[in-house]
Amino acid sequence: MQPGHEPIDHTADVGFRAWGRTLEELFEQAALALLEVVCDRSTVEPRCERAIEANADPGDREGLLVAWLEEINWQIQARGEVYAEAQVRRLDLEVGRIEGVVRGEPIDPQRHALETEVKGVTWHELAVREVPGGFEAQVILDV
């Protein structure tokens, strides 16, 4: 299974499906899908790096995914930055912790056409499941 992600249709909000061979790949792909909802990643240079750390209840894959995506979205909103890359450096499901980075740059209206402002990551229809060859997730974003 090659890691990847794709948008899914949803009536009121924006959704995506992501997949990977490992949970780390899945979480990275989910982050990239979120970043693509906000801005065309191909226009973003990885000039700065921001640490991303998130926690959830031990063993809660869905909770950890929501926390990871919410932290990335907070960085976008609070810092006025957009990101081209996301990398998981450590994921420990037993303790409910993920550590990683995003790389990007401050928003430049001349180069970055912002697509959609994400208000939050919802629990609506949220799923993280093991599938043959890896893991997949479905996420709906409140926009």
pLDDT value for 11: 67
Residue 43 per-residue DSSP state? G
Residue ranges and CATH numbers for the domains of the chain are: 4-142 (3.55.10.10)
Phi and psi torsions of 72, nearest 5° = -65, -45
pLDDT tens digits for range 78-115: 999 999 999 999 999 999 999 999 999 999 999 998 88
Q: What is the pTM of this model?
A: 0.95
**Residues contacting 78, CB < 8 A, separation 6+:** none
Is residue 9 scored above 80 in pLDDT? no
pLDDT tens digits for range 113-133: 888 889 999 999 999 999 999
Which tokens go with 139? 């996420």
Q: How far apart are CA 70 and CA 63, in angstroms?
A: 10
Q: Which helix (H) or strand (E) holds 92?
A: strand 81-92
How many residues are listed for the chain in this entry?
143
* Percent share of the chain, pLDDT over 70: 98
